[in-house]
Amino acid sequence: MARIDHIRDLAPNVRELTLCLVEPGPSALHFLAGQSIAVEILLPENQSQTVRYYSLASPSIQSTRFTLLLSLADQGVGATYLFQQSEGATVQFQGPHGIFYLQEDKSQQILFIATGTGIAPFLSMLSSLLNNATTIPVTLYWGLRSERDLYYQAELQALADQYPCFSFVTTLSRAHQGWSGATGRVTELVARLPSVDGLAVYVCGHQPMVNEVSQILREKGDCPIYREQC
């Protein structure tokens, strides 16, 4: 069981929840960066339960507190239930689960590709890589809709300033006039990659995006592609 310690609204439909483990349950959460937990969701109509998976966005060394990123864009039962919870509320969960975590091959350059809250596992993976003093080039392509949907830009820029091996591109698919950054869907960035030689690619977010990115990469050549199944 975990208690919601802090709620932060990052964008109109995106909320960051910081949770703290409470008894009964494990006294520490041991997970690999990129893994997720299954959160118990109480269904309103008949008070029965279901589960929804959420990626752990915080560093994997932080074992009693962890962070989730939620998108309410779909207005589904899981996200709606979690958005209704206040600080101090408790949630039940199982896990960690999943095989979406950093692979050991150190000879590859890493490319993370995300849309929306699909950034969550990559935040944890980035912490692992950068805290372990990686020298492998790591690039993040992140697709969001418009300026109002932007979040974590300052944090990512701070990492890029501190760690020369890390760079990122945030691309807006519905940018307004005056946005000087990249525009278009994240798939357009992938299509412009000159080559996939030496790349290990991790993809997370909308399932159609994951499929399209995989297809574009395969047309360019052979590289490992690790996909989170939504």
Ligand X SMILES: Cc1cc2nc3c(=O)[nH]c(=O)nc-3n(C[C@H](O)[C@H](O)[C@H](O)COP(=O)(O)OP(=O)(O)OC[C@H]3O[C@@H](n4cnc5c(N)ncnc54)[C@H](O)[C@@H]3O)c2cc1C
Ligand Y SMILES: NC(=O)c1ccc[n+]([C@@H]2O[C@H](COP(=O)([O-])OP(=O)(O)OC[C@H]3O[C@@H](n4cnc5c(N)ncnc54)[C@H](OP(=O)(O)O)[C@@H]3O)[C@@H](O)[C@H]2O)c1
**Residues making contact with ligand Y (CB under 6 A):** 36, 55, 71, 73, 115-118, 120-121, 143-145, 149, 173-174, 185-187, 204-206, 208-209, 212, 228, 230
Q: At what angle do helices 153-162 and 120-131 cross, to 10 degrees?
A: 20
Is residue 53 a contact residue for ligand X (CB under 6 A)? yes
Query: Nearest approach, Cβ of 118 to ligand X (angstroms)?
Result: 7
If contact means CB under 5 to 8 A according to the sort of partner, which of ligand Y, ligand X, none does residue 70 touch? ligand X
* 15, 41, 76, 132, 228 from 52: Cα distances, Å: 16, 7, 10, 31, 14
Nearer to ligand Y, 23 or 35 (CB): 35
Is residue 76 a contact residue for ligand X (CB under 6 A)? yes
Nearer to ligand Y, 135 or 215 (CB): 215
Q: Under rule CB under 6 A, which residues in 114-173 are in contact with ligand X?
A: 117, 120
Query: Nearest approach, Cβ of 8 to ligand X (angstroms)?
Result: 14
Distance CA 57, CA 48 (A): 28
Query: Nearest approach, Cβ of 53 to ligand X (angstroms)?
Result: 4
Nearer to ligand X, 52 or 196 (CB): 52
Nearer to ligand Y, 135 or 146 (CB): 146
Q: Are 67 and 58 in contact (CB under 8 A)?
A: yes
Query: Nearest approach, Cβ of 190 to ligand X (angstroms)?
Result: 21
Considering only CA atoms, which of 204, 198, 200 is closest in space to residue 186?
Answer: 204
Residues in Cβ contact with 170 at an 8 Å cutoff, skipping those fewer than 6 apart: 142, 143, 144, 150, 153, 156, 181, 182
Nearer to ligand X, 79 or 111 (CB): 79
Distance CA 18, CA 225 (A): 30
Query: Nearest approach, Cβ of 114 to ligand Y (angstroms)?
Result: 8
Distance CA 10, CA 161 (A): 22
Query: Nearest approach, Cβ of 52 to ligand Y (angstroms)?
Result: 9
If contact means CB under 5 to 8 A according to the sort of partner, which of ligand X, ligand Y, none does residue 87 touch? none
Q: Are 11 and 149 in contact (CB under 8 A)?
A: yes
Give strand pairing partners of 60.
none
